[in-house]
Amino acid sequence: MNRCAAICFTLLALLASEASAWRLVRIPVLTDSDFALVAQSGFEIASGHRGQGFVDIIIQDRYLDIALERFPEAKVLPEEWAQPMPGSRNEFGYYYGPNENNAFWAELAESSDLVDTPTTFGTSYQGRDIYHVRITNAGDDAPVILFNALIHGREPGGNSVVIDFAQWLTSEYGSDTMATFILDNAQIYFVPMINIDAYYYNLPSGGPNQRKNMNFTLGNGIDLNRNWGYMWGYDDQGSSPNPSSGTYRGTGPFSEPETQAMRDLINELLPLGGFNYHTYGGYLLYPWAYVNQPTPDQAIFQSWGSQMAGPIGYSRGRPGELLYTTNGDALDWEYAEHGALFFTPEVDDNGFWGSQNDSSLIVTNNLACRSMNKLLCMNLLAYVGVTAPQNAALGGASVPSVTVSRNPVSSLLSYTVTGFSSPEVFVMDITGRIVARLSGQGAWVVPADLACGVYRIAARENGVSAESAFTLLR
Ligand SMILES: [Zn+2]
């Protein structure tokens, strides 16, 4: 699409006030210039990974022809990945809808002394209560860890993970050593629906697919994850001054009631860190988001990121490393303002709504993210000196891992594999090509003709894998 066509397309999109069906379209992207073409095309990017070679755009189905003409190699993804479908059971199929959330959290609080009654801490643009739920067996002075979801109203897969973790903590307290340790030493806060208006707006199923909030004063809402106060509007990469854009950042930092409420909550609770849940793609992001540069705590973000996301196969890094930079993101403010160690998981769902009629993927995602949630809590508590007794470390179910004992490597790779019984262990180059198969534990004499560079050692067994990167330097 040339520049004129791109502008015309944007105008068309602006004029199209009538909602119609939405579709996700997957465009192969092999080079940075391929990516730039998509980024400049005027289409809204839904997800993607330069390293994995694709970008998904989301468009109304009346523009499918334009998109396919522009990107003939593109593939249209299944309809239900892009929007709630009429006829799905309950509110959003197997995802919990807004009313189902309200019922779930109220019942959880009623069923357990560990769980506080949902407490309103802010009011949405349309006047709905935004609430948090605290689960703890520690006092009010115990460290706080915060899990939140649905700052984007069309990402129910993140809400499912948060519900699963709350349920797990509550039901396993007293029997699982790690759940017990976490609740005995921390206050776990959940904000299950930040952008509650949009989540309601997406009901009844079969049409709207609202990501932004419901402040339509200038356009069709504000992207609440571009509205935070650190480096707000730094540039127009992944954040837009245009009210019709999917990433419209609003008229100023914290212009919206939902972000104001979250800011005030975090200022009050001072969490050590947490997860801001989004979908989709299977990534774990950490700051900085506004530039592709490391924070002073890069080593922590990187090592915790590998530990948490490696075993479940999620890519991790800064937004600028995986796709593009964004500004006004919650991550940057949480870290810059408070030094809080927040990450953004992008749950590996099928598009935004793809599991609505298939609970098995929701369960898989919940289990994968549950392991990250546990590790995050354990890491954050250890970070402030609260350490678990040995037997609480992984609650009997150790998370599979591969660790390299000395890095960089010159001629001998020493490694440890844990959490598997008899895994396949191999070394890959950065393109994923296997360069050696190793046996069992221990040490590998690196062949003298292997080129210097970055490699990964991985272990795999029954569909579970773990990996670790190392640098070969002679
Ligand atoms: Zn999101």
- Highest-confidence segment of 51-55, 71-75, 174-178: 71-75
pLDDT of residue 16: 41
Same-domain check for residues 252 and 113: yes
pLDDT per residue as tens digits for the range 119-142: 999 999 999 999 999 999 999 999
Compute, in angstroms, the gap from residue 24 CA to the centroid of ligand 1: 15
Q: What is the percent of the chain where pLDDT is above 90?
A: 67
Same-domain check for residues 426 and 387: no
Residue in the structure block whose two tokens are 């334009």: 66
84-88, 98-102, 270-274: which has the minimum mean pLDDT? Answer: 84-88
* For range 164-171, the mean pLDDT: 97
Whole-number Å distance between alpha carbons of 324 and 237: 7
pLDDT band, very low/low/confident/very high, at 389 (cuts 50, 70, 90) = low
Compute, in angstroms, the gap from residue 450 CA to the centroid of ligand 1: 41
pLDDT of residue 205: 62
The closest alpha carbon to 193, from 105, 268, 113, belongs to 105
Same-domain check for residues 200 and 349: yes
pLDDT band, very low/low/confident/very high, at 36 (cuts 50, 70, 90) = confident
* For range 10-19, the mean pLDDT: 43
- CATH code assigned at 143: 3.40.630.10
| Three-state SS at 389 | coil
Compute, in angstroms, the gap from residue 219 CA to the centroid of ligand 1: 19
Residue in the structure block whose two tokens are 């970070």: 383
pLDDT tops 50 at residue 7: no
* Residue 230 placed within a domain: yes
* Residue 91 placed within a domain: no
What's the order of all strands across the beta sheet hosting 412-418? 401-404, 412-418, 442-445
Whole-number Å distance between alpha carbons of 254 and 3: 33
The closest alpha carbon to 81, from 156, 182, 11, belongs to 156
pLDDT tops 90 at residue 301: yes
pLDDT of residue 159: 98
- Considering only residues 126 and 5, tell me which one the structure prediction assigns the higher pLDDT: 126
346 has catalytic annotation = yes
* For range 51-70, the mean pLDDT: 91
Structurally, how many domains does the chain consist of?
Answer: 3
Compute, in angstroms, the gap from residue 225 CA to the centroid of ligand 1: 8
Residues forming a β-bridge with 437: 426
If one counts every other C-beta atom within 10 angstroms of the C-beta of residue 291, the result is 17
Q: Which of 392, 411, 427 is the last residue of a domain?
A: 392
pLDDT band, very low/low/confident/very high, at 14 (cuts 50, 70, 90) = very low
pLDDT of residue 420: 81
pLDDT of residue 207: 66
Residue in the structure block whose two tokens are 């470390």: 393
pLDDT band, very low/low/confident/very high, at 466 (cuts 50, 70, 90) = confident
Same-domain check for residues 142 and 24: no
Same-domain check for residues 50 and 115: no
pLDDT band, very low/low/confident/very high, at 399 (cuts 50, 70, 90) = low
Which residues span the domain enclosing 49?
A: 3-77
- Considering only residues 310 and 190, tell me which one the structure prediction assigns the higher pLDDT: 190
pLDDT tops 50 at residue 197: yes
- Considering only residues 127 and 388, tell me which one the structure prediction assigns the higher pLDDT: 127
29-33, 291-295, 439-443: which has the minimum mean pLDDT? Answer: 439-443
Amino acid, res. 242: N
Do 272 and 144 touch, CB atoms closer than 8 A?
yes
pLDDT of residue 5: 42
Same-domain check for residues 386 and 407: no
190: left (phi over 0), alpha (psi -120 to 50) or beta: beta
Q: Which of 392, 422, 455 is the last residue of a domain?
A: 392
* Residue 87 placed within a domain: no
pLDDT of residue 368: 94
* Residue 352 placed within a domain: yes
Helices (H) and strands (E) in the chain, counts: 12, 19
Same-domain check for residues 104 and 235: yes
- Considering only residues 264 and 38, tell me which one the structure prediction assigns the higher pLDDT: 264
The closest alpha carbon to 158, from 166, 168, 167, 148, belongs to 148
* For range 329-339, the mean pLDDT: 98
Residue 147 neighbours by CB under 8 Å, 6+ apart: 162, 165, 188, 189, 190, 191, 274, 275, 277, 373
If one counts every other C-beta atom within 10 angstroms of the C-beta of residue 17, the result is 7
Do 147 and 162 touch, CB atoms closer than 8 A?
yes
* Residue 90 placed within a domain: no
Whole-number Å distance between alpha carbons of 178 and 165: 12
* Residue 368 placed within a domain: yes
Compute, in angstroms, the gap from residue 276 CA to the centroid of ligand 1: 9
Same-domain check for residues 104 and 64: no
Compute, in angstroms, the gap from residue 174 CA to the centroid of ligand 1: 34
* For range 141-154, the mean pLDDT: 98
Residue in the structure block whose two tokens are 């006829």: 87
Same-domain check for residues 419 and 364: no
Backbone angles phi, psi at 169, to 5 degrees: -55, -45
Compute, in angstroms, the gap from residue 448 CA to the centroid of ligand 1: 46
Same-domain check for residues 333 and 420: no
pLDDT per residue as tens digits for the range 433-459: 889 999 867 899 999 988 887 788 998
Do 395 and 374 touch, CB atoms closer than 8 A?
yes
Compute, in angstroms, the gap from residue 227 CA to the centroid of ligand 1: 13
Question: What is the DSSP code string of 421-434?
Answer: SS-EEEEEETTS-E
Do 286 and 354 touch, CB atoms closer than 8 A?
no
- Considering only residues 306 and 373, tell me which one the structure prediction assigns the higher pLDDT: 373
Question: What is the DSSP code string of 405-473?
Answer: SSSSBSSEEEEEEES-SS-EEEEEETTS-EEEEE-SSEEEE--TTSPSEEEEEEEEETTEEEEEEEEE-
Length of the chain: 474
Q: Which of 392, 409, 433 is the last residue of a domain?
A: 392
- CATH code assigned at 431: 2.60.40.3080
Whole-number Å distance between alpha carbons of 351 and 353: 6
Whole-number Å distance between alpha carbons of 81 and 21: 12
Provide the b/e sequence for 88-109 (b: ≥16 CB within 10 Å). Answer: beebbbbbbbbeebbebbeebb
Same-domain check for residues 223 and 288: yes
Compute, in angstroms, the gap from residue 438 CA to the centroid of ligand 1: 39
pLDDT of residue 2: 41
pLDDT band, very low/low/confident/very high, at 92 (cuts 50, 70, 90) = very high
pLDDT of residue 442: 85
Whole-number Å distance between alpha carbons of 147 and 416: 32
What is the pTM assigned to this prediction?
0.80
pLDDT of residue 19: 52
259, exposed or middle or buried, with CB in 10 Å at 0-12, 13-18, 19+?
Answer: buried
pLDDT of residue 112: 97
* For range 209-233, the mean pLDDT: 97
From the candidates 100, 346, 461, 467, give the one annotated as an active-site residue.
346
pLDDT tops 50 at residue 311: yes
End-to-end CA distance of the chain: 47
* Residue 86 placed within a domain: no
Compute, in angstroms, the gap from residue 155 CA to the centroid of ligand 1: 6
| Three-state SS at 125 | coil
Question: What is the DSSP code string of 46-88?
Answer: EEEETTTTEEEEEEEGGGHHHHHHH-TT-EEPPGGGTSPPTT-
Same-domain check for residues 310 and 388: yes
**Measuring CA to CA, how many Å separate 333 from each of 190, 230, 266, 313?**
19, 5, 10, 27
pLDDT tops 60 at residue 54: yes
pLDDT tops 70 at residue 366: yes
pLDDT of residue 418: 83
* Residue 216 placed within a domain: yes
